[in-house]
Structure 1
Amino acid sequence: MATIDTVTLTAARRPRPRIRVGSHIFLLILTIAFLAPVAWAILSSFKPAADIIRDPLGFDPSSFTLDNFRGMLQDVPIGSGFLNTGIVLVVKGGITLFCAPLAAFAFAKYDFRGKGVIFGAVLLTLMLPTIVLIIPLLLEMKELGWVNTYQALILPGAVDAFAIFWMRQVIAAVPDELLDAARIDGCGEFGIFWRVIVPIIRPGLAGLAVLTVMNIYNDFVWPVVVSNSSQMSTLQVVLSTLAQNISGNKIGADYATVTGELLAAASVALIPLLILFIVLQKHFINGILAGSVKG
């Protein structure tokens, strides 16, 4: 009985967590500020084109229409853009998620001559602006005959310095005793990586996967430089030329029609990323925390 009373008194004396109203209000304002443009674009894509210009901030459910989406599908090759982006995303993302952890494993768990110099050189590439590398890479693609090919869209930058650095930080936190135990059991070096390292670093790998998908999906500068053919254009390149395509396919297309179809195309392109982030939000946050471990 005395024990119960002691526990009750201790619980009663324990300070209750304070509800920080100011912080919640501030976060709510930030959330509205970030989501308002997205919500406006999606809602406006279902409005008649004339209403988008006449009443940009209003929305009448009775005027709900799919005309903007029908017109966009007729005037814009968004299907081929999605296909090209999907191919690049699967192949390039697979290369990144396989090769970057392997390189990071070597930097984190092996000692070899010149390790610090090589890793420093890898990190040094992070300081180079992308625009500096475009001309040399384009000349290289031209010499290889890869302009307007999937090879040019996929291979350059498939294993970047950030991915290696990210995974190196994650793998460095794995205890060396686990690797030694696997070696004693007769496991090879690649077997240690695949059977010991990969299951442990899944949160960090998931975080890298989300970032990789977002970077490849949103990449515009390199695809627009290396692919000047509409058949090889990725989704972002297609979106950048929407106004020209709509105006060229529709004689006398007014500003309202172009705006409506632009919003429809942008909404369609936005949906995959929203679904990805909602589904993998937990893994992304865990991956961010895993990547912040100091090795």
Structure 2
Amino acid sequence: MTTLTTLRPRPRFGIGQHVFLVILTIAFLAPVAWAILSSFKPAAEIITDPLGFDPSSFSLGNYAAMFQDVPIATGFLNTGIVLVFKGAITLFFAPLAGFAFAKYEFIGKNVIFGAVLLTLMLPTIVLIIPLLLEMKEFGWVSTYQALVLPGSIDAFAIFWMRQVITSVPDELLDAARVDGCSEFGIFWRIVLPVIRPGIAGIAVLTVMNIYNGFVWPVVIATGENMQTLQVVLSTLAQNITGNKIGADFATVWGELLAASTIALVPLLVIFILLQRHFINGILAGSVKG
């Protein structure tokens, strides 16, 4: 006797749920929209009429003044250099480590992997002093080496890659070995093409973490010429008041909003362009190992 199973339709959001999501979206986006619009207002209007926006008063004065008072170009340059080199190290070595933990058996494997995961529980502030002393011994204080190397092989990235690579069939790797492929060749030619969504996901997270990094750069970058973007933004008010005699509160806020808007644009563009890959990477990284 044949039984027919009916597929249940996907649950749909009701009107109340849609309204809730719209309100939640507005609540998240309203401060960002306010900051962007206010950056194009004359500085005085930000204080006198904080919630209003008159298109006729549209001005680029905050941006022009900010570029004169703040070395934001230097911050972008340093952040870009750190992003390229640190991101490259992470995206090369983290998949290799994940491949080793996922597909090889060796003495102490679980202990080593547990130690890697244990580092995720350590607050960043605990590592600041030991890392700073180490950089001093190497003579790397306020250098690109100090900004790039510490933390470049992230424990979370290794964990993510291990979870993703676990889903790659062992039969596929064994077939490549039978054909005479080397172990690195298996990783490069077989594993990498399969785990591209997972790599895309961790790439987006890596870019965001490096771009928004603040604690370590503010400690190690003692010279103004080595400051990353987030460090420049943190000292923006002091830079403005230091370069302008009698700078008022409104001027500081106007230039601060202009700098924050410019800093927001790259991350926003990256996330919009890579949103699909990021979601696919999240799903790829959710495989149980």
Deviation at 1:290, TM superposition (A): 0.8
Q: Paired residue for 2:125?
A: 131
State whether structure 2 residue 48 is matched by structure 1 residue 54: yes
Q: What is the 5 A alignment of 1:125-164?
A: 125-164=119-158
Q: Whole-Å Cα distance in 2 between the matches of residues 15 and 73 of structure 1?
A: 56
Q: Paired residue for 1:44?
A: 38
Moved over 2 A (4+): 13-19
Q: Write the letter of the residue equivalent to 1:270.
A: L
Aligned length: 285
- Deviation sequence 1:156-199 (CA, Å, 0-9, x none): 00001100000000000110011011111111111110111111
Percent of aligned positions that are identical: 79
Deviation at 1:30, TM superposition (A): 1.2
Q: Whole-Å Cα distance in 2 between the matches of residues 16 and 222 of structure 1?
A: 47
Cα gap change, 1:120 to 1:63, in 2 (>3 Å): same
2:186 corresponds, among 187, 192, 213, to 192
1:113 corresponds, among 107, 116, 140, to 107
Which is worse superposed, 24-33 or 207-216?
24-33
Q: Paired residue for 2:270?
A: 276
Match of 1:146, SS state, is coil
- Deviation sequence 1:75-124 (CA, Å, 0-9, x none): 00000000000000000000000000000000000001111111111111
State whether structure 2 residue 145 is matched by structure 1 residue 169: no
Q: Whole-Å Cα distance in 2 between the matches of residues 216 and 164 of structure 1?
A: 16
RMSD over aligned Cα, in angstroms?
A: 1.6
Q: Paired residue for 1:6?
A: none
State whether structure 2 residue 228 is matched by structure 1 residue 242: no
- Deviation sequence 1:138-159 (CA, Å, 0-9, x none): 0000010000000000000000
| TM-score of the pair, normalised by structure 1 | 0.94
Q: Paired residue for 1:75?
A: 69
Match of 1:56, SS state, is coil
Q: Whole-Å Cα distance in 1 between the matches of residues 197 and 34 of structure 2?
A: 34
Q: Whole-Å Cα distance in 1 between the matches of residues 203 and 25 of structure 2?
A: 24
Deviation at 1:16, TM superposition (A): 8.5
Deviation at 1:14, TM superposition (A): 8.3
Q: Whole-Å Cα distance in 1 between the matches of residues 201 and 21 of structure 2?
A: 23
Q: Whole-Å Cα distance in 2 between the matches of residues 227 and 161 of structure 1?
A: 24
State whether structure 2 residue 96 is matched by structure 1 residue 92: no
Cα gap change, 1:112 to 1:15, in 2 (>3 Å): closer
Cα gap change, 1:18 to 1:139, in 2 (>3 Å): closer
When Rg is computed on C-alpha atoms for both structures, the one with the higher figure is: 1
